[in-house]
């Protein structure tokens, strides 16, 4: 239930209608309350004496409310137009995947909601103004509140113009995505599900699956196509315990499903029926796009997309790419200090119940570096910054697997610079940074194909002194 609520909340907060709808509803309720207050206390001369209320007659009240409601509708149209232009700019400059960040921006939602709510309030109060001969009623308090809302809307308009100008700056976009990435890391690592395998089991490769699991397990197909947004792992544990089966998940959050493809493998097959298969399928939340609910690589891909676009010939903005590399390095440093959960999950009695498809260190490091280093082969500044980032992450971890993944990327960066960088000075600078990264990783020899006789950082310094 909690995961379902989180998934629905993520859909609501990335929509552009939810907050304005709540504010319009609140404005309608406020108008009814203010009109009721005016009818309950028709003689509020003491407030008029203090100058706290609007004291004009029906014609003046109608004129004020009409002017405010008309101006609010005009401002709402302008706000919507500015927002659409900002979305188009963000899509072309940063990529369509980042539109989600602009859509869920609370400042823009509140600004649009304020203008529409003020328009709704004034319109509903306007209908209560009565100046006929048989009945004369002017809701002075309600009209005064409408004037206050119009002044507040003016302040919100100024804020919105400033906010939209800030939100489309590259540094702020990157910072927003990196904050999402850090929150996802804090939430997902470590992740608790049942009881993990003990340390000895992890060192030996984890608990052993029954013989013939791959051959005899029954595949459970995906009920629908799309991206896996979240998996209710607690529900899967309960189902596996109730039927006394072992479930092997073949798709993790962020992966694309084709309807009918293999989603889960259940063993033994004779304990699986259509009802059980349907319950398994309902534990997977599938949608048309990826989300950050359980997919930490989605935020990594967003930063990588910004960096790759910045390195494209049409944009040629290496500083934005280096900013993305810095943020990616920060995320890897955070991951280096975390415990990545085991794919093997045991119940309270120590029996293997679920084998998950988890993100690996190698996969996360590759997702962080692969596309950026490929796009930066001909850019010395970004290539050097990548090697600096690898050295920084290497100092933050003692994991052999993490260091091996980083060294693999460092060597690939160095090989790519041989083909992409034409100037010998740039290649030598990359060699020096590569040596520094190797020393940080505890591997002093770059490899047998090292040019210039540079095998250690000390050798590099000696070469420089000889020159």
Q: Tell me: do 271 and 143 sit in the same domain.
A: no
Q: Would you place residue 338 in the very low, low, confident or very high pLDDT band (cuts 50, 70, 90)?
A: confident
For residues 312-328, average pLDDT: 91
Q: What is the DSSP string of 440-465?
A: HHT-----TT-GGG--SHHHHHHHHH
Q: Is residue 181 part of a domain?
A: no
Looking at 133, 168, 203, the residue that finishes a domain is 168
CB 397 within 8 A of CB 336: yes
Task: Answer whether residue 182 shows pLDDT above 50.
Answer: yes
Task: Answer whether residue 385 shows pLDDT above 60.
Answer: yes
Question: 231: helix, coil or strand?
Answer: strand
Q: Tell me: do 430 and 318 sit in the same domain.
A: yes
Ranking 8-12, 127-131, 184-188 by mean pLDDT, the lowest is 8-12
What pLDDT does 155 receive? 94
Q: Tell me: do 60 and 164 sit in the same domain.
A: yes
Q: Is residue 352 part of a domain?
A: no
Percent of the chain topping pLDDT 70:
85
> How many domains is the chain built from?
3
What pLDDT does 464 receive? 45
Please, is 192 exposed, middle or buried when counting C-beta atoms within 10 Å of its C-beta (0-12, 13-18, 19+)?
Answer: exposed
CA distances from 78 to 24, 74, 168 (A): 18, 6, 17
Q: Which residues 6+ apart lie within 8 Å of 232 measured at CB?
A: 3, 4, 283, 284, 285
Q: In the 3-class helix/strand/coil scheme, how is 51-73 assigned residue by residue?
A: CCCCCCCHHHHHHHHHHHHHHHH
For residues 20-34, average pLDDT: 94
| Measured distance CA(149)–CA(69) in Å, rounded | 11
Please, is 352 exposed, middle or buried when counting C-beta atoms within 10 Å of its C-beta (0-12, 13-18, 19+)?
Answer: buried
Task: Answer whether residue 184 shows pLDDT above 50.
Answer: yes
Task: Answer whether residue 12 shows pLDDT above 80.
Answer: no
Q: Would you place residue 25 in the very low, low, confident or very high pLDDT band (cuts 50, 70, 90)?
A: very high
pLDDT in tens, 46-86: 445 445 455 566 787 888 889 999 999 999 888 888 888 88
| Measured distance CA(242)–CA(271) in Å, rounded | 11
pLDDT in tens, 199-219: 444 444 557 777 778 888 889
CB 343 within 8 A of CB 353: no
Q: Tell me: do 57 and 101 sit in the same domain.
A: yes
Q: Tell me: do 458 and 309 sit in the same domain.
A: yes
Task: Answer whether residue 455 shows pLDDT above 60.
Answer: no
What pLDDT does 448 receive? 40
For residues 415-419, average pLDDT: 90
Question: 137: helix, coil or strand?
Answer: strand
Q: Is residue 349 part of a domain?
A: no
Q: Is residue 207 part of a domain?
A: yes
Q: Tell me: do 338 and 435 sit in the same domain.
A: yes
Of residues 133 and 408, more confidence is placed in 408
| Measured distance CA(101)–CA(289) in Å, rounded | 13
- The alpha helices in 168-250, defined as continuous H runs, are 170-188, 199-203, 213-216, 233-243
The parent domain of residue 314 ranges over: 296-342+360-466
Instruction: Indicate left, alpha or beta for 355 from its phi (over 0: left) and psi (-120 to 50: alpha).
Output: beta
**What does the angle CA 347 – CA 349 – CA 354 come to, to the nearest 5 degrees?**
25
Residue written as tokens 């188009």? 88
Q: Would you place residue 227 in the very low, low, confident or very high pLDDT band (cuts 50, 70, 90)?
A: very high
Q: Tell me: do 240 and 333 sit in the same domain.
A: no
């Amino acid at each position: 239930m909690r995961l379902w609520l989180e998934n629905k909340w993520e859909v609501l907060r990335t929509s552009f209608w939810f907050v304005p709808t709540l504010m319009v509803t609140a404005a309608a309720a406020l108008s009814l309350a203010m009109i009721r207050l005016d009818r309950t206390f028709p003689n509020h001369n003491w407030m008029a004496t203090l100058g706290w209320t609007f004291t004009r007659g029906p014609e003046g009240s109608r004129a004020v409310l009409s002017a405010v409601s008309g101006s609010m509708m005009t401002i709402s149209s302008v706000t919507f137009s500015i927002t659409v232009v900002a979305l188009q700019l963000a899509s072309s400059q940063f990529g369509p995947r980042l539109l989600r960040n602009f859509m869920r921006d609370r400042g823009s939602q509140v600004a649009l909601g304020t203008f529409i709510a003020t328009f709704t309030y004034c319109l509903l109060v306007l209908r209560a103004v009565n100046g006929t001969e048989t009945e004369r009623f002017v809701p002075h308090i309600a009209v005064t509140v409408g004037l206050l809302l119009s002044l507040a809307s003016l302040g919100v308009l100024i804020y919105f113009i400033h906010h939209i100008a800030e939100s489309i700056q590259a540094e702020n976009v990157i910072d927003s995505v990196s904050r999402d990435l850090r929150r996802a890391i804090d939430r997902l690592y470590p992740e608790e599900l049942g009881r993990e395998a003990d340390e000895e089991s992890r060192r030996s490769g984890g608990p052993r699956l029954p013989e013939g699991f791959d051959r005899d397990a029954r595949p459970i197909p995906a009920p629908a196509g799309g991206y896996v947004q979240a998996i209710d792992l607690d529900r899967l544990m309960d189902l596996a315990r109730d039927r006394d089966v072992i479930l092997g998940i073949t798709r993790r959050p962020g992966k694309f499903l084709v309807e009918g493809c293999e989603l889960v493998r259940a063993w033994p097959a004779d304990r699986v029926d259509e009802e059980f298969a349907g319950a398994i399928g309902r534990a997977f939340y599938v949608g048309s796009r990826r989300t950050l609910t359980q997919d930490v690589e989605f935020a990594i891909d967003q930063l990588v997309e910004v960096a790759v676009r910045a390195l494209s010939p049409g944009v040629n903005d290496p500083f934005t790419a280096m900013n993305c590399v810095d943020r990616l390095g920060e995320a890897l440093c955070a991951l280096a200090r975390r415990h990545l959960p085991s794919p093997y999950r045991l119940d309270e009695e120590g029996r293997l119940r679920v084998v998950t498809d988890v993100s690996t260190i190698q996969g996360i490091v590759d997702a962080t570096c692969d596309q950026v280093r490929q796009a930066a082969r001909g850019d010395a500044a970004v290539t050097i910054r990548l090697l600096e980032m690898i050295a920084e992450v290497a100092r933050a971890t003692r994991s052999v697997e993490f260091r091996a993944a980083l060294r693999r990327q460092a060597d690939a960066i160095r090989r790519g610079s041989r083909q992409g960088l034409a100037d010998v000075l740039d290649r030598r600078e990359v060699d020096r940074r590569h040596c520094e990264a190797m020393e940080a990783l505890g591997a002093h020899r770059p490899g047998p194909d090292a040019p210039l006789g540079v095998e250690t950082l000390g050798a590099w310094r000696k070469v420089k002194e000889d020159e």
